[in-house]
A and B are shown apart, each in its own frame.
Chain A
Amino acid sequence: MVLGTYKEAISARATDKAIQNVAQDGGIVTALLSYALEEKIIEGAVVAGPGEEEWKPEPLVAMTPEELISAAGTKYTFSPNVWMLKEAVRQYGLEKVGTVGIPCQLMGIRKMQSYPFGTRFIADKLALIVGIFCMENFPRASLETFVDEKMNSSLESVEKMDIGMGKFIVNTQDDELNIPLKETHGYEQAGCNVCKDYTAELADVSTGSVGSPAGWSTVLTRTDTGASIFKDAVDAGIIETKSMDDVKPGLGLLEKLSTSKKDKSQKEIDKRRDMGLPVPF
């Protein structure tokens, strides 16, 4: 299945204005984790928090909705959240942990849960794992190249980054700048090129902008846990939804992008195998 196994596909957004104001799209990650915090489904969540430098996120164990909001928005570079899960369980003593991750991070987490060789009692503490759609990720230096060199601006002044309509777009305080997405190709990390997972197929709930209109996110509920927490958040009025059939561009675009990632990575995998290089997929 091109979108992985899922129960329901739906377009959604957070109803809280405070979340909408800082959200990348529909604010689903922030809203879901906040809801889980307040309902005590989780005691804290590992998220990509603000680092010391701009656009250099660092994993943060968020214990309050305010801390979650401080981490809202897509970063387009590394935040090794999985690393911090152990910290959340050991140092913070959390019994129920939530987190958000891109597909490769979820692969590390899920592998650890199925085969916990060296991880003592971390696997059973993970209560909610939200996945985000991901085509590729960039080293921070690549973001510098896009903004400082190609856009003649400075990474420090960027307030929001986005990818959409074939463009890599940044917003500074005064300007909106962009470069064609084509120009970013070749700057993504090489490890992404063998990844076949666009829609975070191992998440409890996956979400991302593709398929839904501006200000909304597409949500795929996958596990029983994920589906039930999402439904409860909707019932509680934390998240509002629309049918995917009623929104544009709709699920077709998501399927198209997911297929293209799978096809492209398969070509790269074949190429690497021909060279005698190892690929785990």
Chain B
Amino acid sequence: MFEKIKRFFGFGKKQTAEAEANPEKPKDDKSSQQEVGKVADKPKIGYFHLSGCTGDGIALTENYDILAELLTNMVDIVYGQTLVDVWYDDENNPYAIDDMPEMDLALVEGSVCLQDEHSLHELKKLREKAGLVCAYGSCAMNGCFTRFSKGGQQAQPKHESFVPIADLIKVDLAIPGCPVSPEIVAKSVVALINGDMDYLQPMLDMAACSSNCGCDLQTNIVNKALCTGCGTCAMACQTRAIKMLEGRPEVNKDRCIKCGVCNTHCPRSWFPEDRIKQDLGL
């Protein structure tokens, strides 16, 4: 299975074999330095965890057998609580935020809570430090299920208002999913490393979209005379909120978490014909 994924992503055979042979190559190892040298422009990536469930972070790490290669030789993770233990802690070190490193890409997981000063501060700062800001996962992109929050709960009853990060800062690209799939993470990172902006274009186009839910299928697709009843939305729905009835999607609003994956996957919302043909060799 992973062999196939690797082929999908165009990982070099040699590189992969090396990674498998020496999965825990120490950083100061000489050969490792040479390898690093081969990838001259290793992108610097920061991982920011706002109000999300860590599902998207887990999805990234679920690329198990390419993860070591990815983290060791293909990218530099320069900021991130879980991945590299580098993060801003305003209670214990209020000045650390100013030391936030420059980075090529900030992956932001989770929506932002308007009552959480820490998150607001971190978000503003990362916009200054990052070349590209990616709303990583549906919570960051459009609020997803944090849209249902009304506060009044532990651990902080005041935390009530959760908004997509694009409401507060300019977002450059968005990767919806609740969680995002491990494959889309790997494909996107590889595209970034290869400078394949064509692949990322749909995600750039989606950056401005900060509202999304199953209702979109009705308003954007069915109401626009575009639905053909193919069933892709129902397959893509991660909470199985969608059934096909008489060839049209029927969204169970009690199950819909507003992640927007149905609309994103619909072949009639946008269609990457050239990329598909390239991937198929057609």
Contacts and interface: CB of A to CB of B under 8 A. Distances in A.
Interface stretch (A22-30, A61-69, A111-119): A111-119
Interface residues of A, number: 57
Interface string B202-246: 100000000000000000100011111111101111100000101
A140 B246 CA distance: 8
A139 B247 CA distance: 7
Given A114-B275, A115-B202, A191-B227, A83 B184 contact: no
Interface string B266-282: 11111111011101111
B183 A83 contact: no
B261 interface: yes
Given A117-B181, A202-B282, A189 B235 contact: no
Interface string A39-51: 0000000000000
A80 B234 contact: yes
A86 interface: yes
Interface in B233-265: 234-238, 244, 246-247, 259, 261, 264-265
Contacts of B135: none
B225 A108 contact: no
A140 to B, nearest CB: 7
A278 B220 contact: yes
Interface stretch (A8-16, A121-129, A228-236, A252-260): A121-129
Contacts of A112: 232, 235-236, 265
Nearest to A195: B228
A114 B281 contact: no
Interface string A257-273: 00000000000000010
Contact of A78 (B176, B187, B244, B266): B244
A190 B247 CA distance: 12
Contacts of A224: 281
Contacts of B175: 117
B143 interface: no
A119 B235 contact: yes
Interface in A132-146: 137, 139-141
A218 interface: no
Contacts of B266: 108
Contact of B177 (A78, A117, A123, A195): A117
The size class of the interface chain B forms with chain A is: 35 or more
Given A108-B265, A124-B5, A191 B282 contact: no
A78 B247 contact: yes
A116 B175 CA distance: 10
B229 A80 contact: yes
A117 B276 contact: no
Contacts of B220: 278
Given A104-B230, A116-B184, A121-B1, A201 B282 contact: yes
Nearest to B229: A78
A281 B271 contact: yes
Contacts of B178: 118
A5 interface: yes
Contact of A119 (B225, B236, B271): B236
B247 A80 contact: yes
A124 B184 contact: no
A172 interface: no
B271 to A, nearest CB: 4
B184 A117 contact: yes
Contacts of A105: 228, 230-232
A191 B225 contact: yes
Contacts of B23: none
Contacts of A121: 1, 181-183
A104 to B, nearest CB: 4
A107 B272 CA distance: 9
Contacts of A77: 247
B4 A124 contact: yes
B267 A107 contact: yes
Among B178, B228, B266, B280, the one with the most A-chain Cβ atoms within 10 Å of its Cβ is: B228
B104 to A, nearest CB: 22
B178 to A, nearest CB: 7
B271 A118 contact: no
Interface string A145-166: 0000000000000000000000
Given A115-B202, A191-B226, A5 B181 contact: no
19 contacts: A5-B277, A5-B282, A80-B231, A80-B247, A85-B235, A86-B235, A102-B230, A104-B268, A108-B266, A112-B235, A116-B187, A117-B265, A118-B177, A119-B236, A121-B183, A140-B247, A189-B227, A191-B225, A194-B225
Interface of A: 4-5, 59, 77-78, 80-86, 95, 101-102, 104-105, 107-124, 137, 139-141, 189-195, 201-202, 222-224, 272, 277-281
7 closest A-B pairs by CB:
A80-B231, A108-B232, A78-B247, A83-B231, A118-B261, A107-B267, A83-B234
